[in-house]
Amino acid sequence: MLSVSLGHDFGGFGLDVQFQAPPGVTVLFGRSGSGKTSIVNAVAGLLAPDRGRIALGDWVLLDTAQAIRLRPHKRRLGYIFQEGRLFPHLSVRQNLAYGAWFAPRSAPRVDQGRIVEMLGIGPLLDRRPGALSGGEKQRVAIGRALLSAPKLILADEPLAALDEARKAEILPYLERLRDEVNIPILYVSHSASEVARLASSVVAIAAGRVVAQGPAEQVLGDPAILPAGAREAGALITARVVRHHDDGLSELEANGIALFLPQLAHTPGTQLRLRIAAHDVILSRNRPEGLSALNILPGLVQDIRAGTGPGAIVAIDTAAGRVLARVTRRSATALGLAPGVGVHAIVKSVSVAPADVGGTAGN
């Protein structure tokens, strides 16, 4: 368990955060400029905060009250940057060996073959970084970090420099990293889709403060938080693939509720996490008929949060899980929405993007 308590004055911006990160991926989620990278740099030892304490279990990396400040190379960290930062004159094999060279002799031996297989970089071993795509470079960078036998992995928006195709290529490997490596991963992002795909837990950051922390489903489904703003609002539900239909749709089941999505590559029985964007949800007081939308989730309004403009975020508790809907305040009034009121959340099948569908632990 990583425990972080930090305070730092940048002059015009103050950082004051406390949180814990268990094994798995803990995402620092918030808008640009909220202080996420400063937190990661403090954990890495690249920023010396005015005050604070950082510990991995009983191992203290920083304690300003006790004058403990381990230097960065003593902290046993693997840092994955926005760009791979591979050595251009070395092959992939040699870049990986450079990471292994930093592993302490006392550390458990890291199986390089397993890392190469997990990241799918076997065919790349004899190539140099100049011949790799952006996604391939990031996979190699992840492998290099793992081979240093770190006690903690830091990832500062590792997909930010990639286009959508490269992001889609690397996300499954990051999911495997979350599920197969039993160490904490502190991951910085302002992308709601990345958070939904990867996060075991979320620490929502705004203006240098922690505004919420907890399981991804809990934080993303809270209409009072919205760390990336109303436009990025969306809830996370878990569903199981039931079957694939001949008309190009995949049928899923979420606690008795049938959901239909464009054809998925996952086999029946696979558990998936789905992010349903709030702006893709339509609400109806009565069960609608004669609609093209296939996904209709009955539920009860749990909360309504009006914004400063004409919009409002409505939280609906359904059997499938929490769903958020972004509507106008006029619509909320016309429908008579209030906590406890029954509604139907309507989601078009094609509105759930492939980037918003990911595997759960063990899948």
98 or 67, which is more confident?
Answer: 67
CATH number of the structural domain 2-220? 3.40.50.300
| The pLDDT of residue 253 | 96
Worst-scoring range by mean pLDDT, 94-108, 154-168, 345-359? Answer: 94-108
Q: Alpha-carbon distance 214 to 28, whole Å?
A: 11
| The pLDDT of residue 339 | 96
In this structure, CATH architecture of domain 234-359: Beta Barrel (2.40)
| The pLDDT of residue 59 | 93
Task: Calculate what percentage of the chain has a pLDDT beyond 90.
Answer: 55
Confidence of residue 29 (pLDDT cuts 50, 70, 90): very high
- The two tokens of residue 320 are 């499938």
In whole numbers, what is the pLDDT of the chain averaged over residues? 89
| The pLDDT of residue 93 | 92
Tell me the pLDDT tens digit for each residue of 272-303. 999 999 999 999 999 988 888 899 999 999 99
Tell me the pLDDT tens digit for each residue of 311-337. 999 999 999 999 999 999 999 999 999
pTM value is: 0.85
Q: Which are the contacts of 80, defined by CB distance < 8 A and separation ≥ 6?
A: 138, 141, 142, 145, 153, 154, 155, 156, 158
Tell me the pLDDT tens digit for each residue of 150-200. 889 999 988 888 888 888 888 888 888 888 888 889 999 888 888 888 888
The domain ranges of the chain are 2-220, 234-359
DSSP for 269-321 reads T-EEEEEEEGGGEEEESS---S-S--EEEEEEEEEEEE-SSSEEEEEEEETTE
**DSSP element (H, E) containing 193:** helix 192-198
Tell me the pLDDT tens digit for each residue of 228-284. 667 778 889 999 999 999 999 999 999 999 999 999 989 999 999 999 999 999 999
Worst-scoring range by mean pLDDT, 85-94, 148-157, 325-334, 348-357? Answer: 348-357
